[in-house]
Amino acid sequence: MKIIYKWNWLALGVVLLSACTERVVSPKQIDAYPSIYPDYTEVTIPATIAPMNFAVVNGDFDKIDVVVKGTKGQELHVQGKKVFFDEDDWHRLVAENKGDSLMFSVSVRQDGEWSRYRSFPMYISNYSIDYGVAYRLIAPGYEVYSKMGIYQRNLSNFEETAIVENTLVPGMCVNCHSFNKTNPDKMSMHIRGNNGGTLMQLGNEMELLDTKTDSTISACVYPYWHPSGKYIAYSVNNTRQGFHAVKEERIEVMDNGSDIVIYHPATHQLLTSPILMSKQAFETFPAFSPDGKTLFFCSAEAKQMPQDYKEVKYSLCSISFDEETGRLGEKVDTLVSAPRIGKSVSFPRPSYDGRYIMFTLSDYGNFSIWHKEADLWLLDLKTGNYRCLDEVNSKDTESFHNWSSNSHWFVFSSRRDNGLYTYLYFACIGDDGKITKPFMLPQKDPLVYYDRSVYSYNVPDFISRPVQLDHATLRDKIVRPDRIKLIPKE
């Protein structure tokens, strides 16, 4: 008898569900894609991405009806005020159509009448993507730290967790987080405030460093790991902040001086070279090549600051590095010349397959995050040619970026959505060098989430698995005054 009752309840549930779903009969055809937020039309996605929920935003509709079909699997049918897909159903359909595409048919009901837009495709890549991304969330203030922290997001769902927040110790700021080729076992993170220091996590070992030495102009920032994990490069910068009088230009961060150093965690030694500590040049943003034999960086002729700040333009340069000795070479090569192109390079990021370097190009300076004209560019290391990434750039700021572990995806921050906040976008690059239309980081209810958020996404990086950080140990190390001092190598 219990079995009969169970099936009766199931049957009733199916009837009630069917009653809630209205049939779309004889809709008016509209020969255009629907205006949806985020714009996911014709984007390419990885097969493990979270449901690509969206809202239709070009009218006041009573109801929205969406049917998603692939060449394989059972179609998805969603009806409501917004478009939210069941996570299990979404993953099942996307996985079944990996390497192919899905077609989205969107109909809207207004004043009791249905209209149907032209169906749009969403392509599913064969290239996998990493477990997730890590980033800083920070309100766009300039002097006072509100709540902020470093967070991680599982890309296959909507789970976001804090790696560390500044509420751990009152008054602190966290920034400059870095992992070794997406591996969270090796992490560097800078802590500013009264209890400042640099966190160095190597597997299960955690150290807190004082990276300012008598021979360097500041503590270490802008980290990048050597692929072996034996070294990590930093820049040391004497920066100043200024504000523009015109509304189109909000803030300027300027270098009064900057050098590049390399830290050897096993010995706590700081390795320096006079070539990268010249008073005649500003050197910043180091990045090792995937084979570890080259250090890329940005270099500009030193100018009188702040009066000549618009004359500071950084070239993309390289110098050899010997892993066995920890020594840098004697010759600097210029890969992208600022004097020749009249622009300034920042944030060079080599792809892990050794094929490309992606960088940001702006009119001047090295802090392009507030430069409206800043765009992403790509240098092909095989040919030496570089080009503007028109496929992903917008009319607003494109800035910090990083590569997935297989070098087929990249994440970047952009202000294209509203001109104020930086949000995360993803794009795919194939073996042929072709780049797909970028898509915004999916959210469970994207229209509400991005409308209400007061935080910018900052310094995104892929992670191959969740970051594990012992908060109790970290807090204990932060509040204690002792720090490990770096030893300048003689």
Task: Output the pLDDT for position 241.
Answer: 54
Mean pLDDT of 258-265: 96
Average pLDDT, the chain: 90
* Contact by Cβ (8 Å): 438, 384: no
- CA 160, distance to chain mean position in Å, is 14
pLDDT over 60 at 91, yes or no: yes
**Strand order across the beta sheet in which 232-243 lies:** 220-225, 232-243, 251-264, 269-271, 487-488
pLDDT-derived band at 238, boundaries 50, 70, 90: confident
* pLDDT value of residue 395: 95
Query: Which candidate, 354, 356, 212, 385, places its Cα nearest to that of 289?
Result: 354
Give me the mean pLDDT over the 147-166 stretch: 95
- Residue 372 burial (CB count, 10 A): 15
What value does the mean pLDDT take over residues 441-465? 96
Candidate from 247-261, 297-311, 405-419 with smallest mean pLDDT: 247-261
| pLDDT score of 360 | 97
H or E segment and range at residue 13: helix 2-20
Confidence of residue 141 (pLDDT cuts 50, 70, 90): low
Instruction: Using DSSP bridges, classify how beta strands 220-225 and 439-440 pair: parallel, antiparallel or unpaired.
Output: unpaired
**pLDDT bracket for residue 243 (50, 70, 90):** very low
Q: The domain 132-479 belongs to what CATH superfamily?
A: TolB, C-terminal domain (2.120.10.30)
pLDDT digits 0-9 by tens, 268-325: 999 999 999 988 999 999 999 999 999 999 999 988 767 777 889 999 999 999 999 9
Question: CA nearest 198: which of 110, 140, 261?
Answer: 261
For residues 173-181, give the mean pLDDT: 92
pLDDT tens track for 25-43: 889 999 999 999 999 999 9
- Whether residue 422 contacts residue 456, with contact meaning beta carbons closer than 8 Å, is answered with yes
pLDDT at 144 over 60: no
CATH number for the segment(s) 28-124: 2.60.40
* Cα–Cα distance for residue pair 401/452, rounded to 1 Å: 24
Whole-model pTM: value is 0.92
CA separation (Å) from 22 to 18, 53, 63, 77, 78?
8, 20, 9, 11, 11
Q: Please work out, in degrees rounded to the nearest 5, the angle formed at the alpha carbon of residue 306 by the alpha carbons of 305 and 309.
A: 85
Question: Do 121 and 103 touch, CB atoms closer than 8 A?
Answer: yes
Domain boundaries, the chain: 28-124, 132-479
Q: Which of 300-314, 324-338, 382-396 is least confident?
A: 300-314
- Rounded CA-CA distance 283/48 in Å is 39
What average pLDDT score do residues 417-433 get? 95
Pairwise CA distance, residues 224 & 295, whole Å? 10
Residue 247 has pLDDT above 60, yes or no: no
Eight-class DSSP state of 31: S
Averaged over 334-344, what is the pLDDT?
Answer: 97
State the Rg of the chain over Cα. 25
Q: Which residues of 422-455 are buried (b: 16+ CB within 10 A; e: fewer)?
A: bbbbbbbbeeeeebbbbbbbbbeebbeebeeeeb
**Cα–Cα distance between 360 and 52 in angstroms, integer?**
28
Q: Among 214, 205, 142, 200, which residue's Cα sits nearest to residue 173? A: 142
Q: CA 79 to CA 431: how far, in whole Å?
A: 38
